[in-house]
Amino acid sequence: MFSSHILKYPEAAAMDTITPGIHLNTSATIVSAGEMFELGFYQPANSMSYYMAIMYKNILEDRVVWIANRDYPVTASALFCIGNHGNLAIRQGGIIYMVTDLQLTNANVSATLLDSGNLVFRDENSSILWQSFDFPAHTFLPRMKLGYGRRIGKTWLYVSWRSSNDPSPGNFTLQLDPGKRSRL
């Protein structure tokens, strides 16, 4: 028996979580519990490309705050899901773009969109495995990071869009210089 789960939720039944077996197509979204943000495919004006994005729910202008696949646009046939190995993925035909690439021993995971605009990927114990706030794009939201984590060797920086209709990485970057120490 073949089963396909492609979601299109009516407004009254909006959901904030993706679990294994649930797929979002280019017309479906999930919405944070307080309806502040939504996660779904974004199509820039005058473009045939789609991007998996976190967007403000009730703002029409400049609403995109994060994009998973800035360098890899997809077409209208794409799906967003938790793949066979338990990772978040964008699928388009036989091509799979891994949003997360974790070595998981158990695929009992879920991804929840929070009212902060953070997409949080958790295991069955609610431990955070990955979160979009650790991979900023071009917009700084409250509780996001900007800086450098010396212990983990991670830099949190923000990169502009190439143009208003092209969210691929642009020419401008906001980041702190890890070599400079400020004197207070």
Q: Which domains does the chain have, with CATH numbers?
A: 6-132 (2.90.10.10)
Q: pTM of the full predicted structure?
A: 0.85
How many other CB atoms sit within 10 Å of the CB of residue 39? 26
Distances in whole angstroms, Cα of residue 116 to Cα of each of 17, 21, 132, 140, 177: 14, 25, 11, 11, 27
Percent of the chain with pLDDT over 90: 62
Which pLDDT score is estimated for 62? Answer: 86
Tens-place pLDDT, residues 143-173: 888 877 777 777 777 889 999 889 999 999 8
Q: Which contacts (CB < 8 Å, 24+ apart) does range 6-13 have?
A: 6/79
Which pLDDT score is estimated for 12? Answer: 39
Contact by Cβ (8 Å): 74, 49: yes
